[in-house]
Amino acid sequence: MEDLCIRCTLPQSRLEVAVAVTTQTCRAAQEAHKLQVTSAVALGRLLTSVGLMSTTAKRNGTTSVQFVMRTTLRQLFADATHDGHLRGFAKNPNLSFPLFEGETLLSRRSLTPALKPGEISVIRMSDRAAEYTQSTTPITKGEVDEDLEFFLNQSDQIPTALSADVMADAEGVVIRAAGVLTQALPDGDVERLERIRTNLRDGQLTRHLSRELAAHELVEAMFPDARTIDAVPLGWQCRCSMEKVLGSIRMLGPTDLAEMIEANREVVVNCDLCAHRYVVEPSEIAKIFKAQIKARG
């Protein structure tokens, strides 16, 4: 089933809702970075939340969110384009908490010990790349989605309820992921928003994840009065490319290039964001070197 973010309004309440299913994206992130269960759940919640924030942003561009922690997880990063391309990483891929007391494979896992204390930075860049805004807040709850909800309420001053969750099987493999973002329009029914938030905190989304639902089925189950505006496909997709890797090699001077040719070894470049591995053959480096020498006369 394809990952999708459905944007709706609740017309009677003047609330905007976005509901996303992100199972394939979170599983792709887990496979790319070889994430153990706690790292996978944390990054999956962040990817889902950032995907919701970016696809519902009023302006085209990218939204990047970084969590920096003084814990063994150290750092989480995700970014999303307005049209639903998601990427990111967990600095420590190997975190694997056992289920805590009261937790089951079907319940929400607590991430607090992995996420507190620390800070969140949110960077929004418009398509005109010169324009960007950055804001920082402390990590309040240590559950990713609740922290971003706090950020959106405090920093953006928009009444917001946000929940994102990732479920894994007994082997720690991601089996389902989804998220819900609700925001009030001016004069929106903030009491209803409060009730939505209370239900989310009470585990409403996580209970729906116990069975496989498409995004439109999640909308129907959670918001029967929703009117759909549009749907944006979401996917694990980085903006790195072999062309960009070669571009960075072209930035090196002839001395460095000559040394690389002398060593006659392929150059391996790993993308931090999506873990894709690029291998540049010595013949390719020789080509860049020759072009540089020629250009210098």
Taking CB under 5 A as the criterion, the residue among 267, 273, 280, 286 binding Zn ion is: 273
CA triple 33-215-164, angle to 5 deg: 50
In the chain, the N- to C-terminal Cα span, in Å, equals: 56
**To the nearest whole angstrom, how small is the minimum distance from the Cβ of residue 50 to Zn ion?**
16
Helix (H, G, I), strand (E, B) or coil at 247: helix
Q: Which one of the spans 98-106, 136-144, 197-205, 274-282 is the region binding Zn ion (CB under 5 A)?
A: 274-282
Burial per residue of 147-159, b for 16 or more beta-carbon CB atoms within 10 angstroms, e otherwise? bbbbbbbeeeeeb
Q: Report the residue number, 17 or 32, with the smaller CB distance to Zn ion.
A: 32
**To the nearest whole angstrom, how small is the minimum distance from the Cβ of residue 214 to Zn ion?**
28
**To the nearest whole angstrom, how small is the minimum distance from the Cβ of residue 41 to Zn ion?**
22
Interface with Zn ion (CB under 5 A), residue total: 6
Contact of 78 with 50, CB cutoff 8 Å = yes
Residues within window 219-248 making contact with Zn ion, judged by CB under 5 A: 238, 240
Q: Report the residue number, 79 or 149, with the smaller CB distance to Zn ion.
A: 79
Q: Report the residue number, 97 or 278, with the smaller CB distance to Zn ion.
A: 278
Taking CB under 5 A as the criterion, the residue among 193, 271, 285, 288 binding Zn ion is: 271
CA triple 250-255-261, angle to 5 deg: 75
Q: Which one of the spans 30-38, 173-181, 263-271, 279-287 is the region binding Zn ion (CB under 5 A)?
A: 263-271
List the alpha helices (DSSP H) in the chain.
Answer: 23-33, 37-55, 112-115, 145-154, 190-201, 204-208, 215-222, 242-250, 254-263, 282-295
Q: Report the residue number, 90 or 213, with the smaller CB distance to Zn ion.
A: 90
CA distance 254 to 252: 7
CA distance 25 to 165: 13
Q: Which one of the spans 35-43, 182-190, 206-214, 264-272 is the region binding Zn ion (CB under 5 A)?
A: 264-272
Contact of 84 with 233, CB cutoff 8 Å = yes
Helix (H) or strand (E) holding 162: strand 160-168
Q: Which one of the spans 109-117, 167-175, 254-262, 275-283 is the region binding Zn ion (CB under 5 A)?
A: 275-283
Is 269 a binding residue for Zn ion by CB under 5 A? The answer is no
Q: Report the residue number, 258 or 273, with the smaller CB distance to Zn ion.
A: 273
Among 189, 233, 290, smallest CA distance to 51 is for: 233
Q: Report the residue number, 238 or 261, with the smaller CB distance to Zn ion.
A: 238
List the alpha helices (DSSP H) in 169-281.
Answer: 190-201, 204-208, 215-222, 242-250, 254-263
Q: Report the residue number, 126 or 237, with the smaller CB distance to Zn ion.
A: 237
**To the nearest whole angstrom, how small is the minimum distance from the Cβ of residue 237 to Zn ion?**
9
Q: Report the residue number, 166 or 271, with the smaller CB distance to Zn ion.
A: 271
**To the nearest whole angstrom, how small is the minimum distance from the Cβ of residue 244 to Zn ion?**
9
Taking CB under 5 A as the criterion, the residue among 274, 285, 288, 289 binding Zn ion is: 274
**To the nearest whole angstrom, how small is the minimum distance from the Cβ of residue 87 to Zn ion?**
6
Helix (H) or strand (E) holding 16: strand 15-21
Q: Which residues bind Zn ion (CB under 5 A)?
A: 238, 240, 271, 273-274, 276
